[in-house]
Structure 1
């Protein structure tokens, strides 16, 4: 535990330096970080009560009172007593306050844009994924729309190839041979336009979190589950199980009598999902298709 605490503190020191928290003015504005957070909450909540503002930000009542008094003296906010509960004081931005917040917001957007400008798209994806994991593990909930499965839209098939290539290289060291296999599967799916085939993209709060495909296998009457993928930041949220269940439901509706899949023994999380979904391991065989010595596995179940 002591080592973890030390790593968290080291990250905090690094990140506060990156975003300029310790500077007297945030991104070259006239506001500190705390002042900017208070302005943000007031700007995004119509007539917010001071008590609610204090709870939302976790600020000491005296500290918040001094901040609001300073804002009022600068004509950035105005306060009034609630007409429904005279114990509650409401606060809102003035015209000058809205203009000041708009300027501050634009500066923050520009500063973050400059920070990310030198990163590749893949690096930006990794960065935001890591941020999502931190938020999730420390109890943050966005209150978004949750998990949704949908059919592929323009750009999704390319994303499936890209993410398979990047994730399996990063996690297992698989090279271009594996990405080529994925690209052929995706291209065949797109070319076939077969009503016995289907694919799903999983989204969490509007962000692509995974994929799975169902296509006809070589053996008549048999479907094949392919290209199951769950992004690292979305693992543990039931995405993989939902995708596999949807694939099984489609296969039954399409009239398949059996469904099979091919995987590798190193993919332990996927294998657990297949086992829970009712698949049975039929046989295994060694191969080195992706530049590594692997054990391929064939799983199936009757429908």
Structure 2
């Protein structure tokens, strides 16, 4: 997608990114469990302190989606081990879905890992995020059951990984 580019999020965009992320997760039915995850999704400024927040923007610099990237051993890394890069909170505006934005963001994370000579990219995804799973698998990620976990009882997260 030539009209979509990925860059580091700017502080002035944090509120919009937080709302976009909550909107995307809500539209997908991923906040129905009401465990307070929406507050974490909205707190872009908080996660930007210890992780990298990337945005996908169009030619007019309108934010279309976002992803948070964390290196192993940092506060936002939940499953990454030494030598791994983790991404979280991948979200695409419901208005931009179907345009390849999620793919562009995922590829940017993989490219970042390669630039840093990090050997593996990992992520956790809600068990029912089947569209995301198809994207990850199409890009070369495989299920990594050893990374499966539950942040809350009854909320299973599946691990995925890709050697880079």
Normalised-by-shorter TM-score class: 0.7 to 0.9
Aligned length: 152
Q: Which residue of 2 aligns with 1:177?
A: 36
- Aligned mates of 2:44, 2:142 — CA distance in 1: 23
TM-score by length of 1: 0.45
DSSP-derived class of the 1:232 partner: coil
Deviation at 1:278, TM superposition (A): 1.0
Q: Which protein shows a greater Rg?
A: 1
- Please tell me the root mean square deviation across aligned C-alpha atoms, in Å: 2.5
Q: 2:17 matched to 1:160?
A: yes
Residue 301 of structure 1 is matched in structure 2 by 162
2:46 alignment partner in structure 1: 187
Matches within 5 A, 1:1-303: 146-172=3-29, 173-175=32-34, 177-183=36-42, 187-188=46-47, 190-192=48-50, 198-206=52-60, 207-218=62-73, 219-283=81-145, 285=148, 287=150, 289=152, 293-303=154-164
Conserved 8 A contact 2:44-2:53: no
Unaligned 5+ runs, structure 2: 74-80
Does 1 or 2 have the higher relative contact order (CA < 8 Å, sep 6+)? 2
- Displacement of 1:174 in angstroms is 4.5
Greater helix fraction, Structure 1 or Structure 2: 1
By how many angstroms is 1:246 displaced?
A: 0.8
Q: Which runs of 5+ in 1 are unaligned?
A: 1-144
